[in-house]
Structure 1
């Protein structure tokens, strides 16, 4: 055991710096171990750590094929998911059917 009262101010500061570095190193090792354990558990369940951390699945964000196009402006398209675009609503109001707007 070190007799702290017998150390000079410089020796005490050096000792404090060594202790601080040791604590930081210990915390970093523990953080890496915990992260590795979490990543392993996520993999076992079919996810990545990023999927769980962001709340997004790898399946989300995939593109859905376009099903409908505006005959008057083919750049206006719709997948059939979500809210109907105004051009779809207008076409239906004018007697068209969704089948007529299919690509």
Structure 2
């Protein structure tokens, strides 16, 4: 292992080293995790299953189905908004021009 004289390093050099070490640790843990998953998948296949069948889940984040549209553009029915998040410009324009949000409901 390489010996590093931390006392001789500047604060900037120490911070750069800290970031490199944190990145190396994260990459190591990710490699270990991937190896463990591969070993578990191989064992599951050997026994005639998939890993997701045994755990009851899929890898990665579960996908949420898209929210149903709540509001429709007054002139173009193909443009919709779910009512969540930032209001689209067409919705703001319609409301400020006197259209009730209830009139824009799907």
Instruction: Please report the TM-score for the alignment, with normalisation by the length of structure 1.
Output: 0.52
1:27 to 16, 26, 29: 29
Larger radius of gyration: 1
* Structure 2 match to 1:47: 49
Q: Which runs of 4+ in 1 moved over 3 A?
A: none
- In 2, Cα distance between the equivalents of 1:44 and 1:16? 42
How far 1:45 sits from its partner (Å)?
A: 0.5
- Give the unaligned 5+ runs of structure 1: 56-103
Instruction: Please report the TM-score for the alignment, with normalisation by the length of structure 2.
Output: 0.51
The alignment's C-alpha RMSD in Å is 1.1
1:4 counterpart = 2:6: yes
- Give the unaligned 5+ runs of structure 2: 58-106
Q: Which has the higher strand share?
A: 1
